[in-house]
Amino acid sequence: MKLSKVLFEVNIDFKVTKITISYTDYGQFYGLYLYDGKVNPNTGFANWREKLRFSDDAQEYVMQETGLELPRNYDTTQLDKIVAAFRKKGIEADHDDVMDVS
């Protein structure tokens, strides 16, 4: 294995059951959220367990798991391919561009 591969490999220490890829409402990448499927007893909802940023590990994680490139800007065609690849692996996945961070 190449040293560069070892340095940039993303290691998640839990079973990922769901992924949400979020962009701002202006189409800029915001975060890739990983869920482990556990429900928060206080809210009754599953909380994300890990958030990957574009400049950190999100690109590498998506490439590592699907072989596809994560777009920096909201591209439904590419994101639909990524979602389909995760679903083939049994991971619930979706993408959105509805976040208003102002």
Output the tens digit of pLDDT for each of the chain's 102 residues.
443 444 456 678 899 999 999 998 888 999 999 999 888 888 888 888 999 988 668 999 999 999 999 999 999 999 999 999 999 999 999 999 987 766
Return the pLDDT at 17.
Answer: 94
- The model carries a pTM of 0.82
| Cα–Cα distance, 31 to 22 (Å, whole number) | 5
At 4 the pLDDT is 42
